Each structure stands twice: as structure tokens, then as C-alpha cells.
Amino acid sequence: MSGAAEQRAGDGSHHRRAAESGARLVLATRNLGKVRELRAMLAEDPDLAEAGWTRETLESAVVDAAALGCAEVPETGVTFTENSLLKARAVAEQTGVPAVADDSGLAVDVLGGAPGIFSARWAGAQASDARNMALLLEQLIEVGPEHRSAAFVCAASLVTPQGTETTHLGRLEGTLLSAPQGDGGFGYDPILQPLGEQRSCAELGMAEKNAISHRAKAFSALRHDVVSVLLGRDVPGPRGGGLPGRPD
């Protein structure tokens, strides 16, 4: 069987699995924490509640890509938006179900937006968070506080099998510290101090961080589009299209 034929056969099995599972939305991730966050956000939406959606229906309707056997999608884009769209497009094509994906990282102004899409591997493909932070701080050692502005950036995208695409960006603006502070969070959290804060992101409580985070802002902006898809409404994009709206 040719590679193209194998891909089509694989896509067919993913479509069947999605149909059998009752999945209505796939998050292009293997991080179950992200899936729980999205379900929790949707559970608070009044339009979904009015249409009969509950936490229980969202458990089966909103799933991660691994649950449907999707292959990992290489992040070959050169922007956060390109990478989030690449992942969402691939998963929507594989499953025949609307897909949501995100890509995020740290953008430092004095470095022209770097580390950017390379944030997770700034010090090398297998680098730890500590090594990434250490390299970045070393590169900025002679940069004064007034020039250490930076932001966490997240692009969140929704793609439907009919071709509708939409992306929203979220930013958490701040200043880079000269040394890590705090034991919470992950990634570059210990060295980014949000504007108006005296603490680093790693020193914020989970609820505090989630209230202002780049991911929360991007997904909050995307929520209306996701709800529209689940309810069968059109979403503005290159091509229209909707899916049947009410859960069984």
C-alpha cells in the first residue's frame, strides 16, 4: 500500500473512532490538563447550558487527539499562529471533527521576539526549563531593567472539517527578572514578572495565574467560535459551515 493510501486508510479509522466515541471537538494535544481546562471553560458558557450541554456531555464530546489515535503533528511553522493552525488542520482532517490547537512561548522585545516558537528548545532539543532560562538570562545579562520587557504569547486556533478557520492571540505582558523567583508554574514562569505585579508568574497562585495568562486570554477569545461550532452556527472564516448542534 502506498504512503498516500495508508494515510487515507488511517484517516478513515480516525473518522470511525471519532463517530463511535461521540466526539464533537478535538483538542490537538496529549496534555489532559489542557482538555480539562477547555471543558471547564465551556461548562460555564450560558448558551451551551441553555442548549442542554452539561459537564457530563462535555466529557465525551470534547476529547484530546490521543483519544482518537491521531499522530503527533510537527510544528514546522515560523509563528505561533502558523503552528496552531498546522496542528488544528491536521487533526480536523484526520478525524472529521472540528479541532482546536494552540502554540505558545516567550517573546522578548530586545531579542526581536525570541525565543518565540523555539522557547521550549532554546538551549537545545532536549533542554530542561532550567537550562532554557539560564541561557536566556546569560544572553540578557548586560540588558538593564528598562529594556527587559517581554510577554508570554499564545495563539489558539479552531479549524472545522468544512474549512472554517479562526485564530485568537493572548498575551501576558511583563518584565524579565535577572534571576528565577518562585517554585510554581513551569517553563519561563520564574523569570517573568507580570506588569503591575511584584511577584513572578511562578509565585502566583494557580487561580491568579489562570485569570491573567496568555492561554486563558486566547481561549477566552476563541470560546465564542467554539460554542458556535458546537451549536451548529456559522463561524467567520475562509469558508463557512456548521455541524449539528445539540448533544444526544
Annotated binding site for substrate: 29-34, 104, 186-189, 209, 214-215
- Give me the phi and psi of 175, to 5 degrees please: -130, 140
d(CA 14, CA 91): 9
Asked if residue 115 has a cis previous peptide bond (ω within 30° of 0), the answer is yes
Radius of gyration for the alpha carbons in the chain, expressed in angstroms and rounded: 19
- Residue ranges for the binding site for Mg(2+)? 103
Residue 5, exposed/middle/buried by CB under 10 A (0-12, 13-18, 19+)? exposed
d(CA 5, CA 196): 55
Single-letter amino acid code for the residue at 71: A
Q: What does 91-153 look like in DSSP terms, one character per residue?
A: HHHHHSS-EEEEEEEEEEGGGTT-BGGGGGGTT-TT--HHHHHHHHHHHTTT--GGG-EEEEE
Say whether 102 is catalytic. Answer: no
d(CA 22, CA 19): 5
Is residue 52 within 8 Å of residue 246, measured between CB atoms?
Answer: yes
Mutual angle of helices 32-43 and 214-230, in 10-degree steps: 60
Active-site residue, from 64, 102, 103, 129: 103
Cβ neighbors of 158 (< 8 A, separation 6 or more) are: 88, 98, 99, 100, 164, 165, 166, 167, 222, 225, 226, 229, 235
Residues carrying an active site annotation: 103
